[in-house]
Amino acid sequence: MVVLVWILFGTLAGLFASRRFHHTGNVLVLDVTLGIAGAIAGALATNSLGFPQPTAFLVAGLFGAVAGAVVTLAGYRSIFRGA
């Protein structure tokens, strides 16, 4: 159940990024995929830093998921500007 919340926040971050940069088609799919991957990585990172097990109601898990998605998308954009 917790992973579904991470995936939801990653999907929302990816959709927001695509909308922000006016992307459609394959780039939209890439943005959502990177958002999901970043959300899962960020949530796992907050867990490994000693925060309680992230659940749908813990701020650390949600913050980690959103922050991970944003960092992953921003990193991709900075490396591949033309994408």
Over the stretch 8-26, which tens digit does the pLDDT of each residue have? 888 888 788 777 777 677 7
Residue 1 in tokens: 């159940």
Over the stretch 26-68, which tens digit does the pLDDT of each residue have? 778 888 888 888 888 887 777 777 766 655 556 666 677 778 7
Is 61 exposed, middle or buried, given 0-12, 13-18 or 19+ CB atoms closer than 10 A?
buried
